[in-house]
Amino acid sequence: MSAEMILAVVALSLILLLLVTVVVLSVQLRRQAHLVHRLMEGLDSVSLQVQTISSVPSVARSLDPAQKVALILNPVKPHAADTRRQVEVTARVAGMPAVMVYETTETDPGTAMAEQALADGATVVLAAGGDGTVRRVAEVLAGTEASLGILPLGTGNLLARNLHLPIADMEQCITIALQGHHRAIDTVSIRLANQDGSVQRTAFTVIAGVGYDAEIMDTTNDTLKQHAGWLAYGEAGMRQLAGKRKEISVSLDGGPLQRYQVRSVMVANCGLLTGGINFVPHAVIDDGLLDVVLLSPRHVVDWLRIAGKTLLKSRRKLPVLESHQATQCKIVLHEPMTSQLDGDASGQVREISARVQPESLRVQVPERPSSSVTQA
Ligand SMILES: [Mg+2]
């Protein structure tokens, strides 16, 4: 073998050796990287658990361990999974039985789930979702000993606002929902006679209405709502502003029917709306009374008067904004109008009858009103 041949074989061997070394090192490095990745994932998980446990306020550690907690969860809401994990960890740290979790569906925002939770022995039922889920769970719990905890995951979060829950702070809301401080509030039974002749019997806790307010709820752009939150209602409100007044008849506490020309009529159990606007300042959530509000603006100037009175909290009476208190009311619509219940559109109706159910619902509340009530 010539010297050139020997050099060529040596060079080839060195190249092959180098290649094998590179391949072996590469495999080793990938294994190491995989192990490091798994280790990091593990550390992340431990860190999240430690973070969640350490963020459980001390009050959670003194919860009544006999409480049986159910969580009715709308799984498609943002932060639903985090909320569920935080509730489960909080209850576990407090030594309570495992939280029973029921997920709502597209066709049932919470009714069957709340009924099942009661059948399973729940003493505290947490509604984690929007106003639709809170209303359905409240309707099922009304008249029972079980208490409603509200974990606001919606856009309006109307009942949470009216109860002065810190809606921007889910951790605090979970503590309030579980800590056992409760109060009794009114609910309102309502019967809606639909345009198609069918009848809905249900309940609400904040405001029901027909006309302008319901048209806003019915036409709010969902995509805008996802991005701009409750400001999307303002955009729909501007679009619906130009509607005509319609004739209705109203009977309060079984009295005679009185005729009105209105753009909107609302039955309020309480009056705080999104953006910190208190639309029905006289409405109190546990006074055993409904506040029936009749809006009859003829043109944009009347709307400006109503907006000014509301925003400036003026006590000046306006002929286009009338309010009456009663324990029950019947509203007959001379032509079908769009309706809403606690901010959710509820179809075209011909007649509604509402009756207050005094102090019929136990709800979990903070001891002192939160200062962040107007946030979010
Ligand atoms: Mg009231």
**How many angstroms separate the alpha carbon of residue 290 from the centre of ligand 1?**
5
Residue of 284, 283, 301 lying closest to 292 (CA atoms): 283
How far is Cα 376 from Cα 368, in angstroms, rounded to an integer? 19
Query: Which pLDDT value is given to residue 338?
Result: 92
Q: List pLDDT tens digits, range 64-88.
A: 677 899 999 999 999 999 999 999 9
Q: List pLDDT tens digits, range 168-219.
A: 999 999 999 997 688 999 999 999 999 899 999 999 999 999 988 778 777 7
Q: What are phi and psi of 275, to 5 degrees?
A: 75, 15
**How many angstroms separate the alpha carbon of residue 268 from the centre of ligand 1?**
7
Q: Is residue 339 part of a domain?
A: yes
Instruction: Indicate whether 336 pLDDT > 80.
Output: yes
Q: Is residue 332 part of a domain?
A: yes
How far is Cα 243 from Cα 240, in angstroms, rounded to an integer? 6
110-115, Cβ contacts within 8 angstroms, sequence gap of 24 or more = 110/72, 110/74, 110/134, 110/136, 110/137, 110/140, 111/136, 111/139, 111/140, 113/72, 113/137, 114/72, 114/139, 114/140, 114/141, 115/140
Instruction: Indicate whether 58 pLDDT > 50.
Output: no
Burial of 235 by CB count in 10 Å (0-12 exposed, 13-18 middle, 19+ buried)? middle
**How many angstroms separate the alpha carbon of residue 271 from the centre of ligand 1?**
9
Q: Is residue 83 part of a domain?
A: no
Bridge partners for 250 per DSSP: 258, 331
Structure tokens at 176: 């309030």
**How many angstroms separate the alpha carbon of residue 291 from the centre of ligand 1?**
6
Q: Is residue 373 part of a domain?
A: no
**How many angstroms separate the alpha carbon of residue 108 from the centre of ligand 1?**
28
CATH number, domain containing residue 197: 2.60.200.40
How far is Cα 237 from Cα 248, in angstroms, rounded to an integer? 22
Of the given ranges (7-16, 83-92, 148-157), which has the lowest mean pLDDT?
Answer: 7-16
Query: Which pLDDT value is given to residue 12?
Result: 58
Q: List pLDDT tens digits, range 258-278.
A: 999 999 999 999 988 877 777
Sorting pLDDT into bands at 50, 70 and 90, what band is 374?
A: very low
**How many angstroms separate the alpha carbon of residue 357 from the centre of ligand 1?**
10
**How many angstroms separate the alpha carbon of residue 138 from the centre of ligand 1?**
16
**How many angstroms separate the alpha carbon of residue 17 from the centre of ligand 1?**
86
Q: List pLDDT tens digits, range 96-122.
A: 889 999 999 999 999 999 999 999 999
**How many angstroms separate the alpha carbon of residue 369 from the centre of ligand 1?**
18
- Residue 212 lies in domain: 187-360
Sorting pLDDT into bands at 50, 70 and 90, what band is 51?
A: very low
Q: Please give all residues whose CB falls under 5 A of ion ligand 1, grouped by chain where several chains appear.
A: 284, 287, 289
Q: Is residue 127 part of a domain?
A: no
- Which run of H or of E encompasses 356? strand 344-364
What residues contact residue 197 under an 8 Å CB cut-off, 6+ apart? none
Q: Is residue 88 part of a domain?
A: no
- Number of structural domains the chain divides into: 1
Instruction: Indicate whether 375 pLDDT > 50.
Output: no
Q: Is residue 334 part of a domain?
A: yes
Of the given ranges (1-15, 36-50, 101-115, 328-342), which has the lowest mean pLDDT?
Answer: 36-50
Q: Is residue 233 part of a domain?
A: yes
**What angle do the packed helices 3-54 and 80-93 form, to 10 degrees?**
60
Instruction: Indicate whether 35 pLDDT > 70.
Output: no
Which pTM does this prediction carry?
A: 0.77
User: What is the number of residues in the chain?
Assistant: 376
Instruction: Indicate whether 49 pLDDT > 60.
Output: no
User: 3-class SS at 272?
Assistant: strand
Question: What percent of the chain shows pLDDT beyond 90?
Answer: 54
**How many angstroms separate the alpha carbon of residue 186 from the centre of ligand 1?**
7
Sorting pLDDT into bands at 50, 70 and 90, what band is 242?
A: confident
**How many angstroms separate the alpha carbon of residue 203 from the centre of ligand 1?**
14
**How many angstroms separate the alpha carbon of residue 333 from the centre of ligand 1?**
23
Query: Which pLDDT value is given to residue 114?
Result: 98
Sorting pLDDT into bands at 50, 70 and 90, what band is 9?
A: low
pLDDT, greater one: 61 or 30: 30
Instruction: Indicate whether 59 pLDDT > 50.
Output: no
